[in-house]
Amino acid sequence: MHPLLRQFRDFFVSLQLTVVLLILSLLLVFVATLDQVNLGIWAVQEKYFRSFFVLWRPPGTDIPIPVFPGGYFIGGLLLINLVAAHIYRFAFTWRKLGIQLAHGGLILLLVGELITGIMQQDSSMRLEEGQTKSYAESFREHELAIIDRSNPEYDEVVAIPEAVLADQKSLQHPKLPFQVTVKAYFANATLQMGDPAARPGLPVATQGIGTRVQVIPLPLTYKPDENNLPAAFVEITGPSGSLGTWAVSPAVGMPQTFNFEGRTWEVVMRLKRHYMPFSITLHQVTHEKYPGTEIPKNFASRVQLKDPTAGEDREVVIFMNNPLRHGGQTFYQYQMNAAGKMSAFQVVNNPGWLFPYIACILMGIGLTWQFCLSLLNFIRKRKAAAPAANA
pLDDT tens profile 151-206: 888 889 999 999 999 998 899 999 999 999 999 999 999 999 888 877 777 888 89
pLDDT value at position 222? 77
Report pLDDT for 204: 86
Considering only CA atoms, which of 49, 99, 95, 93 is closest in space to residue 71? 49
Q: What percent of the chain has pLDDT over 70?
A: 99
The pLDDT value recorded for residue 265 is: 94
Neighbours of 290 (CB within 10 A): 10
Percent of the chain with pLDDT over 90: 57
**Contact (Cβ atoms closer than 8 angstroms) between residue 55 and residue 47:** yes
Name the residue with higher pLDDT: 199 or 347. 347
Mean pLDDT, the chain, integer: 89
pTM higher than 0.85: no
Helix or strand (DSSP H, E) at 43: helix 15-44
pLDDT band at 81 (very low <50, low <70, confident <90, very high): very high
Please compute the mean of the pLDDT values over residues 18-41 and round it to a whole number.
91
Tens of pLDDT, residues 222-255: 777 778 899 999 999 998 899 999 999 999 888 8
Q: Is the pLDDT of residue 390 over 70?
A: no
pLDDT above 90 for 372: yes
What is the amino acid identity at position 52? F
Residues sharing a CB contact under 8 Å with residue 164, sequence separation 6 or more, in sequence order: 171
pLDDT value for 389: 62
Cβ atoms 227, 246 nearer than 8 A? no
- Pick the most confident of 78-82, 201-205, 224-228, 334-338: 78-82
The answer on pLDDT for 273 being more than 90 is yes
pLDDT of 90 reads 73
Q: What is the pLDDT of residues 285-332, one digit of tens each?
A: 998 888 888 787 888 999 999 999 989 999 999 998 899 999 889 999
pLDDT at 391: 60
What's the count of helices (H) and strands (E) in the chain, helices before strands?
6, 18
φ, ψ for residue 127, nearest 5 deg = -130, 145
DSSP 258: E
List phi, psi (to 5°) of 378: -65, -45
Give mean pLDDT, residues 102-130. 91
User: Distance between CA atoms of 223 and 112, rounded to whole angstroms?
Assistant: 28
- 28 pLDDT tier (thresholds 50, 70, 90): very high
HSE-up (13 A, CA, CB side) for residue 38: 5
* pLDDT tier for residue 26 given thresholds of 50, 70 and 90: very high
Phi/psi of residue 129, nearest 5 degrees: -55, 130
**Spatial CA neighbour of 141 closest among 156, 118, 159, 114:** 159
CA distance 264 to 281: 29
Residue scoring higher pLDDT (96 or 361): 361
What number of other Cβ atoms are within 10 A of residue 279's Cβ?
15
Residue 68 has φ and ψ, to the nearest 5°, of -165, 145
SS3 of residue 302 by DSSP: strand
